[in-house]
Amino acid sequence: MQFNKAFMQRQLGKYFDHIVIIAMENKDYNSVIGNIADAPFLNQLVAVGSTMSQYNDNRGTFPPGSCSAECYVAFMAGFCNPCVSDGYAEGSLNIPNLVADRLVPAGFTWEAFCENTCHRGPDHFPFLGFTDTYQSPNIVFTCSSCADVWNPTSYQQFVSAANLNPAPNFLWFTPTDCHNMHSDPNCTNECTSSTTLNVCIQKGDQYLQTMLVGGGSISNPASGSLLASAIFKNDRTLLYIWWDEGSNTHNPPNILYGASSKSGYTTSSTGYNEYAALRIIEDNWQLSTMTSNDAAASLGMSELFTPTGGFGSCSSLPPGWNCGNLNAQGGTGLSSIRVTVATIASFQMSAGEIVNMPMRQPRKERFPGVPARRLPLAYSVRLPVESPPCSIHFRCPRLPLGVLTSILDYTIGSRGERSPHMGRHISVWPPR
């Protein structure tokens, strides 16, 4: 039995294996989150994702809504010494940044898209500002010959990148000011100035809905939409809709969805800002920090993710699922879910087969009273409670593959002995 070898090429992370960031603009938390009239889709996403009610964009340099560039550079480089201002030149920031100086040397891949001709330049697209990325082939203008640089909707290249196998570990998309809730006098969708606040929120919400799910829904996105792409269907991917700053406050919204992000979770913790957002990406892939700013940032944003080894409470489980009362994280009170052998028949192996199989990070805990057994018994796969009650295999609809994070290559001997080719440990349990 041979599994997709592409899994062997994918870099793995603590909370996610891929991150997709969509950069939005200049809105206060309360103008979007809870504003169901103007942002119905985003509030549906929040209901199944995570957000931070006290995220703070202020580093004390600019008043609310007055400096995009500072926020973007802080997020991607941890830099604010001195802070940059809007209108800075392309390629002028000769400083280390996340993609070129941390991700690439560690073997991770990235691609950044800016809608149409990227008319706001580095201010809203920091990869144009960094000396070592502004001429990178990993930067894509989605419609570089557009006569109208503000209004056309052109994100299909971005969605296509999300369908690559393997897809980049880091994907970024910057919409135009007509689509990102900012406003521009040239917009034809009525999002023309800061006085059209509600209109810009409405248009941005509609734009994101079309991009993310098309005519479908969050749980069943339409073909061709971002959430229907391979990176979300087959991989452990985090969608991070990020606003650079507030408009009247230093409190913009943030929405996280997918991977191991918690569902319907809002934290009121303070101390979260661009440096903390950068730090959680660094922590996810065990990258060194960029500056003293992100080094000093709180790792508390980890509360937005379900800890490794715990996937929520054992309730309303599909038929054939059992729970073991494990406190694998030292008193978290979270339980693990085990699928019976009958349910995962597609994972059973015969002696002598070579299996390339994505599994969890090395685990050593045991279900109470159930000893570990040698192969060729079926693997025990842990899945979130929200997983659908379907046969567990890699084409299971909307299966959150985020829990399958380690790659193992085992040869099964004639006597059931295991010969790991990658030195990883895994435990196998029989059904109760």
Q: What is the pLDDT along the chain (432 residues), one digit of tens a residue?
A: 233 333 333 457 889 999 999 999 999 999 999 999 999 999 999 999 999 999 998 665 666 656 789 999 999 999 876 678 899 999 999 999 999 999 999 999 999 999 999 999 999 999 999 999 999 999 999 997 888 999 999 999 999 999 998 899 999 999 999 999 999 999 999 999 867 779 999 999 999 999 999 999 999 999 999 999 999 987 789 999 999 999 888 899 999 999 889 999 999 998 899 999 999 999 999 999 999 999 999 888 999 998 543 333 334 434 444 444 322 222 222 233 232 222 222 233 333 333 333 333 323 333 333 333 322 222 333 333 333 332 222 222 222 222 222 222 232 233 333 333 222 222 222 222
Task: Give me Rg for the CA atoms of the chain.
Answer: 22
At 60 the pLDDT is 58
At residue 62, the pLDDT reads: 66
Tokens coding 431: 């059904």
Determine the pLDDT at residue 247. 87
Neighbours of 215 (CB within 10 A): 11
The per-residue DSSP string of 165-217 comes to SSPPSEEEEE--TTTSS---TT-SSS--SGGGHHHHHHHHHHHHHHHHHTTS-
Angle at 249 between CA 35 and CA 150, to 5 degrees: 70
Q: Going by C-beta distance under 8 Å and a sequence separation of 6 or more, which residues neighbour residue 389?
A: 318, 319, 320, 321
Superfamily of domain 5-304: Alkaline Phosphatase, subunit A (3.40.720.10)
Task: State the DSSP code for 99.
Answer: I
Helix (H) or strand (E) holding 31: helix 29-32
Q: Give me the helices (H) in 285-363, please.
A: 292-295
Quote the pTM value: 0.72
Distance CA 178, CA 198 (A): 13
pLDDT at 64: 65
Tell me, what DSSP letter sits at residue 379?
Answer: P
Residue 100 neighbours by CB under 8 Å, 6+ apart: 130, 132, 133, 136
114, β-bridge pairs: 141, 174
Q: What is the dihedral of CA 313, 230, 40, 261, to 10 degrees?
A: 30
Domain boundaries, the chain: 5-304, 306-432
- Predicted pLDDT of residue 335: 30
DSSP string over 100-164 = IIIITTTT--EEEEESTT-TTGGGT-GGGTBTTTTT-TTEEETTTT-SSSSS----HHHHHHTTS
Contacts 24+ apart (CB under 8 A), 33-39: 33/253, 35/201, 38/198, 38/201, 38/202, 38/205, 39/201, 39/202, 39/204, 39/205
Burial class (CB in 10 A: 0-12, 13-18, 19+), 48: middle
Contact 9, 18 (CB under 8 A): no
CA atoms within 13 A on the CB side of 421: 11
- Predicted local distance difference test score (pLDDT) of residue 195: 72
